[in-house]
Chain A
Amino acid sequence: MQVELDMGEGRSSEALLPKVGRPLAVRWLGALGRGAEGVARHAGELSLIVWGALTALFTGRVSFRQVVREMYSMGVQSLPIVLLTGILSGVVTSQQGGYQFTGSVPLYVVGSVVVSSIVLELGPVLTAVVFIGRVGARITAELGTMKVSEQIDALESLGRDPVRTLGAPRIIAGTLVLPMLVAFANLIGIAGGMLTAEATLGLGRETFLYGARLFFHAFDIYYSVGKGMVFGFIIPVIAVHMGLRTYGGAEGVGRATTTSVVYMILAVLILDATFPMIFLR
């Protein structure tokens, strides 16, 4: 019986070079270079996945059944927790608004604040974060397991491109499902905020809705759902990418999944920060 000891990181040729004697600046430059190389490689691979999924979609080589199956499982998996976070975001913003605005500002402003915070920010972002935990992590773990057990190799050996057969249906399904989940989260969040305002501040529903309409633009709906689409696209793209580059057995799957979650959250937050710069000026 042969026992292979995996020395992990330590085995790279880098580790064999003497660490001492290299000036600090050189080491910093080295680290910077490796970091830049990593970012460039990720960016390159991500764009290949996007390209692969788009060509598969536009040449009609994506299984419609797979897309529907993915949409169903993504929707069903996430809906309960999405609704819960939606209600809670309404309850919280409503109470915070009530606390801040008592006295100085007319109370119907609570309606404006609740609705715009939920529609513009909390709805899309909280839903996306929940989606990352329930769906994005699952995709990376699933594809990562397939990668380390040679199932991805098997798929390729059968002349089926993994990005087309596994990636594209998940990316398309995510792009369609997340905006719907955002819409649900928005509606239930507003309802939660309205009922909380009524219960805690004695603010009537008509007054709440009056305040809501006062600062509301139809554009806000598109903005909210559009964010959902962008997040719903980028989350599975990153999840698929991280899954397909998994290596190193069960431990590798764990590592890929947690790293993937961090990248997906960062991507959502960074995109969320750039959205107002582009659309709300």
Chain B
Amino acid sequence: MLEYLNVYKSFDVPVLSGVSLTVAPGETMAIIGHSGTGKSVLLKTTIGLITPDYGDVRIEGESIFHSNQNTIERIRRKAGYVFQNAALFDSMTVFENVSTGIPEEQLGSLRFREVLKRVAEALELVNLDPRAVLSKLPAELSGGMRKRVGLARAIVGRPEILLYDEPVTGLDPVNAAIVHQLIERLGRELGVTSIVVTHDIEGALLISDHVAMLDAGRIRFVGTPDEFRVSDDVLVRAFLERDAMTISDRVLEVV
């Protein structure tokens, strides 16, 4: 169980003004909202990358902000984080990047061949050819490939919690579908608890168990995808209709 308890955060201006949200074990929660509403800030508070001004986040009952450094590091190793801009270590190869995703205490006891195998498996899961990318530096990859390497780094440590910040933004439709399927499979088959921040509402409604809408620093709506589709909240409707519009635009372009 993952709980946000009345989280406040301001940078010059208020960004989060009392966010409370509960994510049940094994469920996939999609978080949507306009850009700049604080979705990334909220996701970062989850594992303490940003400290809120007020409020708390608890993971399986353990507070992220009232624990010592060792507890925090232990909680973080249970979680994988996919950054909006991949955030790959740019002085390291793809192999080194992904292998840092394996917790240090495991790395110490693994042989090189086993590390290589796990890294290659993770890369295959995100539809990258290990032989082609393993020895490349991040600067030699396209934006979409970097994003997927970032995803591989987050899942290679077999986390119990996965936090995705716009995992499909910038991906082509084929790879976006692959990533969506992966998120769904990790949830369904391995019981991973996932939070997916996304702009892709159609995708979000397909893969999530619950959708939360962040607006003006608070959770404006939480419900199942079906509840979301029939909600009469004006902002939810605006989101759905704007999405319908962009879809029809795309159809028009194709025609």
Contact = CB atoms under 8 A, between A and B. Distances in A.
B101 A158 contact: yes
Contact of A156 (B35, B76, B80, B90): B76
A159 interface: yes
A154 B86 CA distance: 9
B85 interface: yes
Contact of B79 (A146, A150, A157): A157
Contact of A12 (B12, B48, B89): B12
B152 interface: no
Interface residues of A, number: 17
A121 interface: no
A151 B87 contact: yes
Interface in A154-192: 154-161
A274 interface: no
Interface of B: 12, 35-36, 44, 47-49, 69, 73-74, 76-77, 79-81, 83-85, 87-90, 100-101, 103-104, 150, 153, 157
A146 B87 CA distance: 9
Contacts of A160: 73, 100, 104
Contacts of B88: 151, 154
A158 B100 contact: yes
Interface of A: 2, 11-13, 146, 149-151, 153-161
Contact of A158 (B35, B74, B77): B77
Nearest to B34: A2
A13 B12 CA distance: 7
A208 B80 CA distance: 66
Given A149-B90, A151-B90, A153-B87, A158 B157 contact: yes
Nearest to A150: B87
Contacts of A146: 89
Contacts, number: 60
22 contacts: A2-B35, A12-B12, A13-B12, A146-B89, A149-B87, A150-B84, A150-B85, A150-B87, A151-B90, A153-B81, A153-B83, A153-B87, A154-B81, A154-B89, A154-B150, A155-B100, A157-B76, A158-B76, A158-B100, A158-B157, A159-B74, A160-B100
Contact of B81 (A2, A13, A157): A157
Nearest to A63: B104
A142 B12 CA distance: 27
Contacts of A2: 35-36
Nearest to A142: B91
Contacts of B103: 158-159
Contacts of A11: 12
A277 B100 CA distance: 47
Contacts of A155: 89, 100
Given A150-B87, A155-B100, A159-B74, 9 more contacts: A13-B12, A150-B83, A151-B90, A156-B48, A156-B76, A158-B100, A158-B157, A161-B69, A161-B73
